[in-house]
Structure 1
Amino acid sequence: MKNKYITLKKVIYIAVACYTIILLFIVTATYICIKKLDQKVYLWIQLENIDRQILEVRRYEKNYLLYHNKQDLLYTMDYIEKLELELQKNSDFIKNLDTKAEINELKKIIDDYKSTLENILEQEKINPIQAKEIRKKGHKIVVIFNQLRNKATQKLNYDIKKYSLIPVLIIFIVLIVAPIGAYILATWIIKPIEYLAYYAHKIPGAQTNYIPEHEKGFIKYKEYEQLRKAINEMIKSLNDKQQEVIQAEKMAAIGTTISGIAHEINNPLNNIFLTVEVIIDSFKELDQEEIQEMLQDIYKEAERAREIVAHLLEFARNKKESKLEKIDLRNLVKESLKLVTSEINLKGIKRNIILPDEEVNVRGNFNQLQQVLINIITNAIQAMGKGGKLEIRVKKKDNQAVIEISDTGPGIPEEIRKKIFEPFFTTKEKGTGLGLSVSYSIIQKHKGQIEVESEEGKGTTFRILLPIYENTGGAS
């Protein structure tokens, strides 16, 4: 395991070290190039100094030949010696410019020239042959040096261009290598994070419950592996806790359900028990009308208990799969209204039904959806009492079919609105508290939603949203 992973800190240290080495290389290479250029410029200056010495030699040579003044000849000898010293001092640099042959030839002709001047210096008077020889050798010195300087100048120009381009070339290479290196390093660092993020996004949707180890491409960092294992352990711990919470909620729901059932059924049974007890204890004292009235109470309470059981059975049946078909919500609303029309008319409630011209189709169970509509409409009628206005609207919104049922009743307080879909919760004296709970279950099974908007004193709107059924040979 120690050899399998590398720490991210070590990778960063290596990257910094590499970039430091590259930077040192650039600085060193640039320094060397500058030194080389400095040497070439210095050599160029020395060539110019040698050229000036030669010019001085020729100048005093001409003065001597014109005026035959031996002082000029001594000056000529003096500059010849300076010329020899300059050549001696820079001979190694000049030889490196591939001018060895020219240097040797120049030194030889200077020696001959110097010997001739020394012979003339010992004489009282120069003859024309010696004068011609001096001019000839002096001219040859100039010619050979010009050849040497031209050759050296070409080589110096080439070297100066070369050493001037090297730093530029190095910087250009670094400008290409550095971004590539930085991109690779960033990829090595970011890729594992993207991998972790990719699987982390899948966890909430239950597409995965752990992050697998990555076997491809990027370097395996110790820190990322520790993070991956920590996340997996956290996921496992959360899943275990979630299962415990779900189990606890199930037990709480079962307890609430049993408590609700017991309470709801116990009330009519208790009334039946008390009424029967009165009949048994006072049977002889009761007249026929009183017994009939008590039996009627028993019948009503038994009917109430049967209604509770029927709602419970309906609630259980809604959890099972049922046959689905294409339903036009316009027809669903019309058929549902037929069943409550008499109650609406009896209470003097005004109706406003708004249906679109085109079909609004969903895929579902007609009877179950009709049960939801009747339940909500009945609640609206009962909430409004006498008078009021009931509005039902069917429309399409985005990819959903919408049924809105609005009433002008007293509205639902916020603290009650939060509980209206809970089983056995009711504000009615004889309600079972299962109507809206069953409706909520039906709509959920149809992959839809129920929304409630209500304002006290202004009424309530129930909004049912269902996926639209597209007529393309299958469900949406």
Structure 2
Amino acid sequence: MLRTTGRSLNTRLILGFLLVAIPAVAVVGAISFYALRDLTSANQGLQEISRSLEAVRALEGGVGRALMPVGEFVAYGASGQERLFEARIGEIESRLQGCGNTACHGVSAQPREMAQGLVPYFRTIRDRAASVFREDTGSADRIRLFREITGQGREVSRQLEHMSSALLARVESLQEKTQQVYQRAWNLILGATALVGGFAVLMAYLMSRKLARPIRELVSGTRHVMRGDLNHRVTVSERGEIGELMGSFNAMAQEIDEHRGRLERLVQARTAELEQAHESLMRSEKLASIGVLASGVAHELNNPLTSILMNINLLMEEVEDRPDLHRELKRVGDDALRCQRIINDLRDFSHRRELEIGPCDLNAVVSDALGLISRQLRLQKIALTRNLPDRMPCVLCDPDRIRQVLMNVFVNAIQAMPEGGTLSVGTAFQEGRAAITVTDSGPGIPSDIRSRIFDPFFTTKAEGTGLGLSIVYGIMEEHGGRVEIDSAAAAGTAVRLLLPTQEGYE
């Protein structure tokens, strides 16, 4: 089977899929990476804001709690309030110091700056509170200082509210950014999907065209073959399975064409054999019918003709002294003898006596028959060429009847060369049969009468009976053989007698 090199159909489909899948995965991966990066950044910002808001709420509560001991001391002069204030204000300063570093606010600069801006306020509150708690400070001064402290506390609360507002504004900004990230990612995914889809459609179209073209050519080639055009071939323009399929189609068409040629030749040969068998059957039936008629005619004419010949001979003896009458009687006697020969031919034609079959040396039979015509060949200046191989298979036949066949064929050949010529006689082993070939250098048999040469009583000779070749045909048929004649105008005639060998009879 024809093999082609190149990428297989399966490989092409995989490559086509990869050409679509890899860009799609790359685009979706890139979009996902950038979206995840932005979302991670937004999430980190939200975590920072969450910590900042917790710190701000803690500071708001701590400021009020830190000022309560000062108020208690101013109002009631309660002891121990200074230590409580110091503890609470120290806690606030510690928390404020923590809110000023990245542990609380991450990388955001604004919360740190706002936290550092509160330090002076708490320093002022601490200083004013220290003055309040001194023993030499009067009541009026303590009240004034407490008012200043509460004013500073309100300012701190206002700053903390401002910080909360800034943090909430940042939350809204991050939410908007997150929404934008989602929207941008969605738009990019839709765009990438459309782009990859268009690319996939384009690749599918190109691949379908590339695959459909050779398939259409194969379909066209199949239709040509169906219409009987077995010489049609497709052009192998592809590799892989498609190319192999196209090559296999061409090989199949060629094999079908060769098989059809062999089948046609076989049909022609069988048809010729059937025609020959039919012709042989028709000729046999015709010969049988004519043989019955000839047998009756010969029987009815032979007795009176014998009487006529006897009386003519008696009359010729009585009129020997009258030459003119004797000459006429002799002419009548010769005609009667000719009629007797015709009757004898009719008897030979009609009487199919039983063959005396036995092993026979075919070359010896041919040599005997040639010996009988050797004198006539010399008289008519006909050269004889023999080709009798030493090793010939044994033939089972009736030698007398085969000799009769040969004599009829030899006589026809000699009569075809009245001015001399060449007679060639040979034996051979052909197609499992023994063959005797007799060839003359005469004018040949005209094509318009070749189909009639075996018909009884058909002759082109003035004195012929037309039974010679009919007798030849009948005897050869009785032996299970056949007669073949090959003749061409001005090229002579070759008569081939085919007889079964001893193995053929067995």
Structure number, greater radius of gyration: 2
Question: Which range, TM-score by smaller chain?
Answer: 0.3 to 0.5
Q: Tell me the TM-score normalised to structure 2 length.
A: 0.45
Relative to the length of structure 1, the TM-score reads: 0.48
